Amino acid sequence: MATVSIGGFSTFPSSFEEMGSSTKWVAIFFMLFSALNFSLHYKFFTKKEFLYFSSEESRFLLAWIFLLCIVSYFALFNNDISITDIIFNIISVSTTTGFASADYESWGGAMMLLLISGMFVGASTGSTGGGVKVVRVLILFKQAINSIEQLIHPHAILGIKYNKEPVKDKTMNSIWGFFSIFGITLFLGTLILTFCGNSFETSWSAAIACLTNTGPGFGSVGPNLNYAHIGSVSKVSLIFIMILGRLEILTLFVLLSRSFWKK
């Protein structure tokens, strides 16, 4: 239940560290399964249509996680860390599940950056995962390429397509709006947690871990720790951030706006 829902809770205080290798691989499969768009699963089980590699979002997600695993493997090549634990923790964080089979905070600053990157991108739309969502990152990546092409060919008329369909300007504005509010929320959350007496590492990692609904962060909220020791104001702030992240930010602000209720 905690794997498919990407909840990340374990029956052990040390999360998945006490689990066997075969159990970890079962969890790896279902974390990936749950991070994909469930409409693809529905079409597969009801219509026998295997569309996982036809979807740009699914291809991007799988390629992104594969890249993170490869880079992590070479980054930790000289360390005594099993490849199962490397893959497990990368996929756990990248799908925003939050399981931990090792103290990945001790893997170094480079690995911390990779894990945060995976946490930031998150899972697919229509999945049980959190994060920014792959489709938004993919579309912005395409727009960045278009911007470079536009500088080279200033008179060219370039468009952005997703799954062979053109992306409308309204959709692009919505994505940029999401990223803006995401960044502002992350900054304010980090600021509040820092003023509450938490270390900067704890504050920013807790803010992004709660905003992406991953769970464990770094510092005093690392994979082998929890949020029990932080103050009440910090907890209330993170409660709001978690709700904001789960409702994908814009939805909650719409509900809080006066014009919505007037309408």
Q: Which two three-digit tokens encode residue 5?
A: 């829902």
pLDDT tens for 78-119 read 888 899 999 999 999 999 999 999 888 888 888 999 999 999
Strands (DSSP E) found in 142-221? 161-162, 165-166
Report the predicted TM-score, pTM, of the whole model to 2 decimal places.
0.89
Contact 61, 123 (CB under 8 A): yes
- Cα of 236 vs its chain's centroid, Å: 22
Q: Say if residue 263's pLDDT is above 70.
A: no
Percent of the chain with pLDDT over 90: 52
Single out the residue of 20, 15, 3 nearest to residue 225, CA to CA. Answer: 15
pLDDT given for residue 187 in this prediction: 95
Give the bridge partners for 162, in sequence order. Answer: 165
Domain extents in the chain:
21-121, 172-262
State the pLDDT confidence band at 192, using cuts at 50, 70 and 90.
Answer: very high
pLDDT given for residue 127 in this prediction: 92
pLDDT tens for 150-177 read 888 888 888 888 888 888 888 888 898 8
Percent of the chain with pLDDT over 70: 100
